[in-house]
Amino acid sequence: MEAICLFLVVPCYNEEAVLEDTMAKLTDKLERMMVRGLILPSSRIVFVDDGSKDRTWAMIAGGHEHSELVDGIKLAKNSGHQNAVLAGMLSVMDSCDAVITLDADLQDDIEVLDRFVEEYQKGSQIVYGVRSCRDKDTFFKRASAQSFYRVLGKMGIEIVYNHADYRLMSRRVLHELSNYKEVNLFLRGIVPLLGFQTSQVTYERRERMAGESKYPLKKMLALAMDGITSFSIKPIRLISTMGILLFLTSLIMLIVFLVKDFMGVTVAGWSTIVISIWGIGGLQLLAIGIIGEYIGKIYMEAKGRPRYIVEKYLGSAGAVRL
């Protein structure tokens, strides 16, 4: 198989606790892959600083000075994980044959990078890194993750089970991805829409070396909401269905109360009325909130603001502003 030029894109946000070790391990891994003849010496590791407030950028700049394998991209401000990943990929897509994205904490097993490249050499344009199990997760995290995939599936969203953002994409795929201009990014949903030949590489996710997770429950819920509202209108259809059911229920209750009235039976207390008012009021607020979420996304898309701004690029490839 012919060796390829591979770029690793690593988004970073306040990762000073793990960055030195991550640089060393990724550099060593690329060098070993070069010895095997899988990748070319022009391959690089591109760290994307997503507006970090610690020494992350200083460490990236230092790594670039000491190793020709380390490049860096500094975003002008924090733009979010998905935008940081996209900024790295689109900035280097014309300088390599393929890109692999992975997180800076290296919980994703880097020893399977060889298998990603081998799948690409066999013809796959997209290679998904898929977790083989979730035994090391807490019960809550495992249950919430499974619920996340089930809900997205019920909404008709095509997504790879147990896959996050550990994937390989070819240059051709990246050029097609650049045509997707939406501001509300959910790459796990967009990438399957691209088509092309795909394959999977399974691996076991490791414990985080140091520092804190950049995806707490609040961000995970926000990501799930973005995924649902960016790719499905089923929530709005669900509102219509609930409205019809409530209307039919009200007609049934009207008939029941009219019959009781003719029979001389009165309803004691206000419990039924109060419960009905609160129930319908709650459903109305929920419906307004879901509709508002879609309107908010339309508003964000209509403004057409750039998803990110590259402030600095340390490397041989040219930076692209999108």
Q: What is the DSSP string of 131-166?
A: ES--TTS-HHHHHHHHHHHHHHHHTT----TTEEEE
Is 269's pLDDT higher than 60?
A: no
As a whole number, mean pLDDT of residues 52-74 equals 92
- Indicate the pLDDT class of residue 188, thresholds 50, 70 and 90: confident
Angle, helices 217-231/139-154, rounded to nearest 10 degrees: 10
Is 294's pLDDT higher than 60?
A: yes
**Predicted TM-score (pTM) of this structure:** 0.71
Is 214's pLDDT higher than 60?
A: no
Secondary structure (3-state) at 48: strand
Measured between alpha carbons, how far is 117 from 124 in angstroms, rounded to an integer?
A: 9
**How many residues are present in the chain?**
322
Compute the mean pLDDT over every residue in the chain, rounded to the nearest whole number: 79
186: amino acid identity, one letter: F
Q: Give percent of the chain above pLDDT 90.
A: 33
Give the pLDDT confidence of 139-166 residue by residue, as tens digits.
666 666 667 667 666 666 677 777 778 9
Cβ proximity of 56 and 16 under 8 Å: yes
Is 71's pLDDT higher than 80?
A: yes
Query: Higher model confidence: residue 58 or residue 190?
Result: 58
As a whole number, mean pLDDT of residues 301-321 equals 69
* Strand 70-75 relative to strand 98-101, pairing: unpaired
- Indicate the pLDDT class of residue 240, thresholds 50, 70 and 90: low
Is 50's pLDDT higher than 80?
A: yes
- Indicate the pLDDT class of residue 318, thresholds 50, 70 and 90: very low
* Strand 126-131 relative to strand 198-203, pairing: parallel
- Indicate the pLDDT class of residue 266, thresholds 50, 70 and 90: low
Query: Higher model confidence: residue 182 or residue 121?
Result: 121
Bridge partners, residue 127, by sequence = 168, 199
Query: Higher model confidence: residue 71 or residue 254?
Result: 71
As a whole number, mean pLDDT of residues 22-33 equals 93
Query: Higher model confidence: residue 242 or residue 21?
Result: 21
Query: Higher model confidence: residue 11 or residue 133?
Result: 11
Is 222's pLDDT higher than 70?
A: no
